Amino acid sequence: MTPALMKLENISFAYETLPVLKDISLSTREQDFIGLIGPNGSGKSTLLKIMGAILKPDSGSIQFKESSLPKINKKLFAQSVSWIPQDHPMVFPFKVSEIVLMGRHPYLSPLSFESEEDFEISQRAMETTMTSQFADRYFNEISGGEKQRVMIASALAQDPEMMLLDEPTAALDLKYQIQILSILKNLNARHKMTLVMAMHDLNLASSFCNRLILLDEGQIVRDGTPEQVLKKDILEQVYGIEVDLGSHDGSIRVHPVISR
Ligand code: ADP
Ligand code: MG
């Protein structure tokens, strides 16, 4: 078994007094492509923020490459783990190429300018995400699917070992959903990137991820392969609807039963 890249043990977290994560333990293995699934409000975004060190847990421990999180070198962590939030309010009019170059930030020393290498890495990140063609356009003037690719390019310029993505395909049409997921799959397979992605579409998660973690009310209900996690009784209990299961191209399909 490959070693754990990040290991969470008994993590709990509350916003003020509202407990949101309860005793979460999980290890990501190198090259995992994890789909974090579960109903609205089950704690997916909060868990991603804890993993990205955006939020600090109230109790429990986190290790990254066998260093515990409070002690780990902050610069190294910022280079190794990138978090892509669900929405990216961009107040200032930045060009796409500038946003991608910002991904190099954890590598710059204070007051230093980007090097030739930083520009080259950003260029490659734009090629991988098919964003080079609008490098000179303003971020707030491109479409939702293009914005999401730019955010992935910026994360990629950071050259991380692990990416945490919060619903990267939300609000995109089917073609763009598949495009984003194919880019991620490629990063996972070819570049050996560990991915943890919050996601609502169980069928796409089942097709693209090797592992699913199902959250319900801040607890992990199931963690395993799509076949192990997408079970009729568990889904009906967690989502509170009736479902039928099928399969397509070797992966599980979940169909909600709609009474007419
Ligand atoms: P998910 O991403 O699965 O929809 P979240 O992690 O966003 O779930 O939210 C889990 C719970 O925490 C919800 O009840 C939500 O209302 C609450 N919550 C999320 N963010 C905050 C916040 N900044 N302050 C207070 N409560 C929050
Ligand atoms: Mg969320």
* Among 5, 4, 28, 19, residue whose Cα is nearest residue 57: 19
Whether pTM exceeds 0.75: yes
- Ligand 1 centroid vs 104 CA: distance in angstroms? 30
* pLDDT tens over the chain, length 260 residues: 667 899 999 999 999 999 999 999 999 998 899 999 999 999 999 999 999 999 999 999 999 998 898 888 888 999 999 999 988 777 678 999 999 999 999 998 877 888 999 999 999 999 999 999 999 999 999 988 899 999 999 999 999 999 999 999 998 899 999 999 999 999 999 989 999 999 999 999 999 999 999 999 999 999 999 999 999 999 999 999 999 999 998 899 999 999 87
196 within some domain: yes
DSSP secondary structure string for all residues of 149-165: HHHHHHHHHT--SEEEE
- Ligand 1 centroid vs 167 CA: distance in angstroms? 14
Q: Kindly report the number of other CB atoms within 10 A of residue 132's CB atom.
A: 17
Our answer on whether the CB atom of 216 is closer than 6 Å to any ligand 1 atom is no
* Among 71, 157, 86, residue whose Cα is nearest residue 115: 157
Asked if 226 contacts 206 with a C-beta cutoff of 8 angstroms, the reply is yes
136 within some domain: no
State which ligand 1 atom lies nearest to the alpha carbon of 166. 2
Return the pLDDT at 4. Answer: 86
151 within some domain: no
CA distance 68 to 48: 17
State which ligand 1 atom lies nearest to the alpha carbon of 42. 3
135 within some domain: no
The CATH number assigned to the domain holding 39 equals: 3.40.50.300
137 within some domain: no
Return the pLDDT at 256. Answer: 94
Return the pLDDT at 91. Answer: 67
Return the pLDDT at 93. Answer: 87
- Domain with 178 in it: 6-89+159-256
* Among 37, 33, 32, residue whose Cα is nearest residue 209: 33
- Ligand 1 centroid vs 219 CA: distance in angstroms? 13
State which ligand 1 atom lies nearest to the alpha carbon of 167. 2
State which ligand 1 atom lies nearest to the alpha carbon of 198. 2
106 within some domain: no
239 within some domain: yes
- Ligand 2 centroid vs 224 CA: distance in angstroms? 21
Asked if 37 contacts 200 with a C-beta cutoff of 8 angstroms, the reply is yes
220 within some domain: yes
Q: Hey, whose CA ends up nearest to atom 13 of ligand 1?
A: 41
- Ligand 2 centroid vs 219 CA: distance in angstroms? 15
Q: What percent of the residues of the chain are helix, what percent strand, and what percent coil, each to the nearest 5? A: 35, 30, 35
The count of structural domains within the chain is 1
Return the pLDDT at 87. Answer: 81
Q: Hey, whose CA ends up nearest to atom 7 of ligand 1?
A: 45
